[in-house]
Chains A and B, each alone.
Chain A
Amino acid sequence: MLLLALDTSAAATVALLRDDVVVGRFGSADTRSHAEVLAPAVQGILADAGVPGADLDGIVAGVGPGPFTGLRAGLVTARTLGFVWDVPLFGVLSLDALAFDAVAGEAVEAGSAFLVGTDARRGEVYWAAYRAAGDALPELLDGPHVGTAASLPKDQPLAGRAASLYPDDLDGLPAFTTSDPDAASLARVARLRLLAGEPLLDTAPLYLRESDAKVPGPRKRATA
């Protein structure tokens, strides 16, 4: 199985996965240049691997939650590539990639609950609660949500950058306090679901926040 994965919910990351082997990957720490770096990364990874796009078995996109502009850059890229190459699209909750990493890194014991959190800016975090499930994929218990770090469930360790942003409120899992969703892990999550015959998401973005626009009131009348 050959999967190309993109996640732009935080950093811009791209990975090419052949079965369970990562044959190419790209990551940029810059969270504001997705529209610049994404296409060259896809082009470079496929060229280096000698893989024509139409040979892919699927394109996996992280559907967020994440800052909107970067998230859209990834999703429109995935959708356009899928359209041109006529390759199926699979959506995966971006937080699933972090949960996968925390369990694969043996930071949480099988059966225990933990949190995943990323930077939502404006003093808030995107988060979800999971349970580690041995060899299987982590089980999503609650979320995704957006809220202040102080509003998260207490007494559960957290994987993801939110931990280093709000150390007073969150109990970070060592080695995962500055982690962002990674496309290679996203691809692995998608692959395991596909192999297990589990459903995947479509590529609809998880904004979690409304566009916040309000209808303005009428102009005040001048009165004498």
Chain B
Amino acid sequence: MTVLPEWTVVHEVGSAAELQALAAALAPHLRAADLLVLSGELGAGKTTFTQGLGRGLGVTDRIISPTFVLVRQHAAGGSGPGLVHVDAYRLDGAAAVDDLDLEAGMAANVTVVEWGAGRVEHLSDSWLRVDILRPVGVLQTAATGGPVTAFDDDGEDEVRTVTLAGFGPRWHARQPPLLLD
């Protein structure tokens, strides 16, 4: 079954900080029970994105990688929804995802699932897909002409393309106006 998005929008960001700013700008447009499905290779910035989202939602705890414990719950900063942050990489198959009992917390939270594509869409009739893409395979050349061997400490050179796509009735005519570009 192929499901087509209600809408798709593409943003370019030039650094890890800009990626977080984009996510923070998205946060006010999110509601409790929204499901975000994050995709991107290792190091694409899925947790970085979620940190920005948490900041935008007013979450005060530190948002760290959920990889070890699989699910981290963060209380809302104010009256808005809290954040449930999931790493589904080791949960291949929808059934294993269901053992996490995410449904129990979905109603009151924004649920963000890293490596969620193809694993968690069954949890809701609607979801926001976020694909984070680094330019892969582009040969960057150092001053010496060879491969780059010195990497920036600040992530300022981490260019990414972020594609947001709303699926299902919740996202019908609900494209967040992100004024970043």
Contacts and interface: CB of A to CB of B under 8 A. Distances in A.
Does chain A touch chain B in the assembled complex, meaning CB atoms less than 8 Å apart? Answer: yes
Interface of A: 32, 67-69, 121-122, 209, 211-214, 216, 219-220, 222-224
Contacts of B101: 32
B15 to A, nearest CB: 21
Contacts of A213: 90-93, 96
Interface of B: 41-42, 89-96, 98-99, 101, 104, 136-137, 139
Contact of A212 (B42, B93, B139): B93
A39 to B, nearest CB: 22
Given A32-B104, A216-B89, A122 B96 contact: no
B99 A68 contact: yes
B139 A211 contact: no
Nearest to A215: B92
A216 B96 CA distance: 14
Nearest to A217: B92
30 contacts: A32-B101, A32-B104, A67-B99, A68-B99, A69-B99, A121-B98, A122-B94, A122-B95, A122-B98, A209-B95, A211-B96, A212-B91, A212-B92, A212-B95, A212-B96, A213-B90, A213-B91, A213-B92, A213-B93, A213-B96, A214-B93, A216-B89, A216-B92, A219-B41, A219-B42, A220-B41, A222-B136, A222-B137, A223-B137, A224-B139
Contacts of B137: 222-224
Contacts of A223: 137
Given A67-B99, A213-B93, A220-B41, 7 more contacts: A69-B99, A122-B94, A212-B92, A213-B90, A213-B91, A214-B92, A222-B136
A49 B42 CA distance: 58
A45 B68 CA distance: 38
Determine chain B's interface SS by DSSP, over half rule. Answer: loop
Give the 6 A-B residue pairs with the shortest CB-CB distance, closest first.
A222-B137, A214-B92, A212-B93, A212-B96, A212-B95, A122-B98
Nearest to B103: A121
Contacts of A224: 137, 139
Contacts of A219: 41-42
A114 B16 CA distance: 61
Contacts of B98: 121-122
A212 B94 CA distance: 8
A214 B97 CA distance: 12
Contacts of B92: 212-214, 216
Contacts of A121: 98
A121 B123 CA distance: 12
Contacts of A122: 94-95, 98
Contacts of A222: 136-137
Contacts of B94: 122
A222 B137 CA distance: 5
Nearest to B42: A219
B93 to A, nearest CB: 4
A223 B130 CA distance: 23
A216 B119 CA distance: 13
Nearest to A222: B137
A220 B94 CA distance: 23
A71 to B, nearest CB: 12
B138 to A, nearest CB: 8
